[in-house]
Amino acid sequence: MVKHVTVRTVISVATMNDWPLFQMDVYNAFLQGSDIGMINELKTVLHQNFKMNDLGALKFFLGIEVMRSSKGIVLSQRKYVLKLIVNVWLGEAKPTSTPLEQNQKLTSIEYDETIQPTVNGDELVLDIAVYQQLLRRLLYLTNIRPDISFAVQHLS
């Protein structure tokens, strides 16, 4: 299992050195380096010894889209975010520049089974499992959106 900090570090080093990044389906092994010839030789050796597919230049990994430009590499979770917004019925929500007010105090409430959460989001989420699932998804999003880390950690 690879840690996201490792993935970001490899992508960052490859960007600084203008190295190509390739992904091969051997439980998602990354090949990186400055010599394309050596990379191709290694890919050939791996292909001869393991059942694998060469997926070509890295474009998508663990739900993160990887786009290379002349200025560097851009990481995006646009598809992930759009799916998240649809799943939590927030398609009509308005954006805000600050995801959480500074010094916001959160209070706990007693669970009341007679209160039913609404689809429009005007009432609190009462199902702890739903809330925890949402937080897990938001924590995953902080991999490329560190600007929301404070708010997500505060809610967590």
Q: How far apart are CA 138 and CA 151, in angstroms?
A: 10
User: Residue 115: which of 105, 128, 125 has the closest Cα?
Assistant: 125
Domain count, the chain: 2
Residue 119 confidence (pLDDT) = 47
124-155: b or e for each residue (b if 16 or more CB lie within 10 Å)? eeeeeeeeeebeebbebbbbbeeeeeebbeee
> Same domain, yes or no, for 72 and 92?
no
> Same domain, yes or no, for 72 and 101?
no
> Same domain, yes or no, for 149 and 92?
yes
pTM here?
0.57
Residue 125 structural domain: 78-155
Burial of residue 94, with CB atoms counted within 10 A of its CB: 0-12 exposed, 13-18 middle, 19 or more buried: exposed
- Domain end residue (candidates: 59, 76, 93): 76
- Domain end residue (candidates: 50, 76, 102): 76
> Same domain, yes or no, for 98 and 46?
no
- Domain end residue (candidates: 76, 97, 123): 76
> Same domain, yes or no, for 20 and 89?
no
pLDDT in tens, 74-94: 888 888 888 888 887 777 878
Residues of the chain scoring pLDDT < 50: 118-120
> Same domain, yes or no, for 72 and 87?
no
> Same domain, yes or no, for 58 and 97?
no
DSSP label of 52: -
